[in-house]
Amino acid sequence: MGAVILGTGSCLPEKILSNHDLGKIVDTNDEWILSRTGISTRRISGQGEATYQLGAAAARKAMEMAEVTVEEIDLIIVATMSAHMLMPSCACFIQKELGAVNAFAYDVNAACSGFLFALDNGDKFLRVEKGKKILIIGTETLSSRTNWEDRNTCILFGDGAGAVVAEYQDNERGVIASNLLSDGTLWNLLYMHTAPSCNPDLQLADNPGSHILMEGREVFKYAVKAMEGAIRDLLSRENVDMDSIDLMIPHQANIRILRKLVSRLGVKEEKVFINVQKYGNTSAASVPIALDEANREGRFKRGDLLLVCSFGGGFTWGASLLRW
Ligand code: UT7
């Protein structure tokens, strides 16, 4: 049908930052963070855990599960907004790290929705280039793009990577369809500058540095509405009803966003995979990390119908349906 996932992998940095630890850095506490976000801990990268290194480690685990060698990989798509360099791409660094000599590689930036957008790219590539094998990776070190003095944002984010190996198969398995959307008019509710421009004419007076800025309450409202709309449209287009979904794997940003979304959609909570309490919001890495954990915990089996969805800066959002 479409891109069939042959293996999943993830990699989380060793260092764990708890809500108590954050209370020593900014004016916050465990009770506030837990009740407003559902997050208890997040992982923070140290040396040897750069964005591309986490991504490569996740990719190795996915290839191991898929029993695919690195030489068989034809394409590497990496979703990230926190690569350690703007150029070359994170994907090229991962290619070098893995020794994927037969692959071409590029990055996708759709903020927290990056993995869904990359999965759709990969799916469409495979439907044309049948017989190829690809790596799709979401990897972030948002700790490097966080203002550690801003309690509105620094409590939310974490580092990590997730990866999948995929190929086209002429059967009922794989990505069925995706519904992806963007609205650039709302860019200023969630954004991050680059380094200041070297061209004085293009310098922005209000560039405070390259870290995340967010109007949390507005983002919250849009996120619920937007994901609900994307999911309802996708399911109705594909003639699938909500009860046939075996497991929903949403972007892990905030437990309250997830609960609201799930209750509006009428999905039972036991059919929703949640790990935001452990890792916080890992942006483009969040869906593939959750997919890998759910896979390794045996939360779904061959033939099950999975629904993934996401929302992020841009705004970008969407949903995908997969037959495992
Ligand atoms: O992937 C998409 C990326 N982003 C998101 O998904 C984030 C979406 N938004 C959210 O998750 C929530 O809006 C937050 C968790 C960011 C904030 O929760 P909230 O319930 O919307 O709180 P709020 O921003 O309305 O703030 C309530 C109060 C404020 O105090 P006042 O003005 O009422 O006195 C804040 O200053 O809580 C205060 N506050 C905090 N207090 C303790 C904000 N951050 C903190 C903090 N600790 N870390």
Are 15 and 163 found together in one domain? yes
pTM greater than 0.85 (yes/no): yes
> Residue 1: pLDDT band by 50, 70, 90 thresholds?
confident
Mean pLDDT of the chain: 97
Are 162 and 184 found together in one domain? no
Question: If DSSP codes are grouped into helix, strand and coil, which group holds residue 108?
Answer: strand
**Domain boundary residue, one of 172, 201, 230:** 172
Q: Quick check: CB of 35 below 6 Å from ligand 1?
A: no
Taking the centre of ligand 1 as the mean of its atom positions, its distance from the CA of residue 29, in whole angstroms, is 13
Are 137 and 180 found together in one domain? no
Please tell me whether the peptide bond between 104 and the residue prior to it is cis, using omega within 30 degrees of 0: no
pLDDT digits (tens, 9 = 90+) for 46-86: 999 999 999 999 999 999 999 999 999 999 999 999 999 99
pLDDT digits (tens, 9 = 90+) for 122-178: 999 999 999 999 999 999 999 999 999 999 999 999 999 999 999 999 999 999 999
Sequence letter at residue 61: K
Are 124 and 192 found together in one domain? no
Are 138 and 249 found together in one domain? no
Would you say the C-alpha torsion 89, 199, 210, 313 has a positive or negative sign?
negative
Residue among 90, 49, 99, 47 at smallest CA distance from 69: 99
Taking the centre of ligand 1 as the mean of its atom positions, its distance from the CA of residue 279, in whole angstroms, is 18
Nearest residue (by CA) to ligand 1, atom 36, is 152
- What average pLDDT does this structure show over 95-104? 98
What is the Cα–Cα distance from 209 to 214, expressed in whole angstroms? Answer: 14
Taking the centre of ligand 1 as the mean of its atom positions, its distance from the CA of residue 14, in whole angstroms, is 27
Nearest residue (by CA) to ligand 1, atom 21, is 217
Annotation says 121 is catalytic? no
Annotation says 11 is catalytic? no
Is 271 in contact with 245 (CB distance < 8 Å)? yes
Q: Quick check: CB of 189 below 6 Å from ligand 1?
A: no
Are 218 and 143 found together in one domain? no
Taking the centre of ligand 1 as the mean of its atom positions, its distance from the CA of residue 233, in whole angstroms, is 30
Question: If DSSP codes are grouped into helix, strand and coil, which group holds residue 161?
Answer: strand
**Domain boundary residue, one of 144, 172, 200:** 172
Annotation says 20 is catalytic? no
Q: Quick check: CB of 25 below 6 Å from ligand 1?
A: no
**Domain boundary residue, one of 148, 172, 196:** 172
User: In terms of residue numbers, what domain contains 300?
Assistant: 175-323
Residue 262 sits in a domain whose CATH number is 3.40.47.10
pLDDT digits (tens, 9 = 90+) for 210-248: 899 999 999 999 999 999 999 999 999 999 999 999 999
Number of folded domains that form the chain: 2
**In this structure, what are the phi and psi dihedrals at residue 298, rounded to the nearest 5 degrees?**
70, 30
What is the Cα–Cα distance from 258 to 276, expressed in whole angstroms? Answer: 10
Can you read off the two tokens belonging to residue 28? 């916050």
Q: Quick check: CB of 19 below 6 Å from ligand 1?
A: no
Are 166 and 180 found together in one domain? no
Are 155 and 188 found together in one domain? no
Q: Quick check: CB of 130 below 6 Å from ligand 1?
A: no
Are 141 and 256 found together in one domain? no
Q: Quick check: CB of 280 below 6 Å from ligand 1?
A: no
What is the Cα–Cα distance from 176 to 192, expressed in whole angstroms? Answer: 33
Are 162 and 252 found together in one domain? no
Taking the centre of ligand 1 as the mean of its atom positions, its distance from the CA of residue 253, in whole angstroms, is 12
Q: Quick check: CB of 217 below 6 Å from ligand 1?
A: yes
Are 168 and 33 found together in one domain? yes
The catalytic residue among 251, 254, 295, 309 is 251
What is the Cα–Cα distance from 167 to 133, expressed in whole angstroms? Answer: 5
Residue among 242, 223, 126, 130 at smallest CA distance from 181: 223
The catalytic residue among 11, 112, 154, 309 is 112
> Residue 300: pLDDT band by 50, 70, 90 thresholds?
very high
Are 166 and 313 found together in one domain? no
